[in-house]
């Protein structure tokens, strides 16, 4: 996208923001009464708008989710979301704690700063509030380098070096429960909204505000909520833990894998007797670190070592385990690294393939999600 195109996106985006503010004031902030009712068994959607926004900015998405059967909850008292992220998260937690939670749980749908508030809430109070996941639209998870050019602490708090931004970025324990939606160019989040370990969804609509009422974003948000709601609800309250100390019937399978990259392709293998493609990797042995497991499995499966200093964690994928009972999940820690030789099939592997997302149908759920994540990070085609 050239500078003229970007300038056009800026102009249209600010025009959209102005229109949304006028509509919010002219239409009032009264929440539709029917939002409180949804289909049994579907989690409640909690809306968190961005800074200088009211909940109405998310109304097109909320309307669609209500039509899909989800009850919608708007928390009053946040104003224009001008308070610091941590304080807003605490206020939101207090408000939600006063309302009996839906037995099916809650899913947060947020825009911009609202996504940062939602992630902080998930890190600090998710279990108590029954939060099953977060759908974040145009959220600056890594901050915005433009923050240093604005006046006032409200927006300068989005600096990539801000303590809260840094701490949220370092803690990835809930990233697998987040879906981040964004366009190819966001004038307010120039470095993008890709979140390592999350499900990252890029749609063909640029902008920070105008994206909110696009058909693509509305569909993507509906798909994201459906994805999060379909996952097993593994979150339990402290009281529930006290009532049952029995182990889970199907504990997660913990594995580590390595993404070896070449010419925007990633290496995958076909195990002997199998008809699908896997990432080089395997189960983490007791007492073994994920990085050590990834290196060991790479040697065993494709006969290469990893160049010292090249190994770095990329993300974690959590999804249904292939060939296992429904509800049993695989938790795969994926590392990047450089091979010290040409990968070759081993006794465990019959073939090696350099693949892209075009091969996603040949992969089990975890492998398919890895390809999506690598593409979202612009590492493969």
- The pLDDT of 272-279, averaged and rounded, is 84
Does 322 score more than 90 pLDDT? no
Question: What φ, ψ does residue 129 adopt, rounded to 5°?
Answer: -100, 0
Q: pTM (2 decimals)?
A: 0.64
Instruction: Tell me the two tokens of residue 336.
Output: 């990047």
What is the per-residue pLDDT across 183-224, written as a single tens digit (0 to 9) for each? 989 998 887 898 878 888 999 999 999 999 999 999 999 999
Burial call 273-297: b when 16+ CB within 10 Å, e when fewer:
eeeebbbbbbebeeeeebbebbbbb
Does 141 score more than 50 pLDDT? yes
What is the per-residue pLDDT across 24-41, written as a single tens digit (0 to 9) for each? 676 666 788 999 899 999
What is the per-residue pLDDT across 290-313, written as a single tens digit (0 to 9) for each? 889 999 999 999 999 999 888 888
Residue 249's pLDDT band, with cuts at 50, 70 and 90, is low
Lowest mean pLDDT among 106-110, 153-157, 205-209: 153-157
Residue 267's pLDDT band, with cuts at 50, 70 and 90, is very high
Please, are residues 380 and 266 in contact by the beta-carbon 8 Å criterion? Answer: yes
Q: Chain-wide mean pLDDT for the chain?
A: 86
What is the per-residue pLDDT across 330-346, written as a single tens digit (0 to 9) for each? 888 889 999 999 999 88
Distance, CA of 381 to CA of 371 (rounded, Å): 9
Give me the pLDDT at residue 171, please: 84
Please, are residues 306 and 295 in contact by the beta-carbon 8 Å criterion? Answer: yes
What is the per-residue pLDDT across 45-77, written as a single tens digit (0 to 9) for each? 999 999 989 898 999 999 999 999 999 999 877
Does 251 score more than 80 pLDDT? no
Lowest mean pLDDT among 83-97, 149-163, 244-258, 285-299: 244-258
């Amino acid at each position: 996208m050239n500078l003229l195109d970007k300038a056009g996106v800026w102009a249209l985006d600010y025009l959209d923001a102005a229109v949304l503010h006028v509509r919010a004031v002219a239409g009032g902030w009264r929440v539709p009464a029917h939002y409180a009712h949804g289909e049994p068994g579907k989690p409640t959607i909690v809306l968190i708008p961005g800074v200088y926004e009211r909940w109405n900015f998310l109304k097109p998405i909320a309307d669609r989710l209500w039509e899909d059967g989800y009850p919608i909850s708007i928390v009053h008292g946040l104003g224009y979301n001008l308070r610091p992220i941590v304080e807003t998260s605490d206020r939101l937690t207090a408000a939600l704690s006063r309302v009996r939670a839906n037995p099916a749980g809650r899913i947060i749908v947020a825009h911009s700063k609202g996504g940062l508030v939602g992630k902080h809430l998930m890190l600090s109070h998710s279990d108590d509030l029954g939060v099953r996941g977060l759908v974040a639209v145009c959220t600056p998870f890594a901050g915005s380098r433009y923050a240093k050019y604005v006046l006032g602490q409200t927006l300068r708090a989005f600096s990539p070096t801000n303590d809260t931004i840094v701490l949220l970025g370092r803690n990835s324990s809930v990233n697998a429960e987040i879906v981040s939606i964004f366009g190819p160019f966001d004038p307010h989040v120039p470095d993008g909204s890709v979140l390592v370990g999350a499900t990252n969804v890029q749609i063909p609509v640029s902008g920070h505000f105008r994206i909110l009422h696009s058909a693509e974003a509305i569909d993507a948000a509906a798909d994201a909520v459906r994805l999060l709601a379909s996952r097993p609800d593994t979150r339990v309250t402290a009281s529930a833990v006290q009532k049952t100390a029995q182990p889970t019937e199907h504990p997660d399978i913990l594995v580590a894998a390595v993404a070896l990259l070449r010419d925007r392709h990633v290496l995958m293998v076909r195990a002997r007797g199998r008809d699908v493609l896997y990432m080089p990797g395997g189960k983490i042995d007791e007492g073994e670190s994920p990085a050590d497991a990834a290196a060991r499995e790479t040697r065993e499966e494709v006969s290469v070592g990893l160049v010292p200093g090249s190994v770095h964690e990329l993300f974690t994928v959590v999804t249904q385990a292939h060939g296992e009972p429904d509800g049993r999940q695989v938790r795969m820690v994926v590392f990047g690294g450089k091979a010290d030789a040409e990968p070759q099939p081993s006794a465990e592997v019959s073939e090696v393939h350099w693949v892209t997302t075009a091969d996603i149908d040949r992969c089990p759920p975890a492998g398919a999600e890895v390809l999506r994540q690598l593409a979202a990070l612009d590492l493969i085609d």
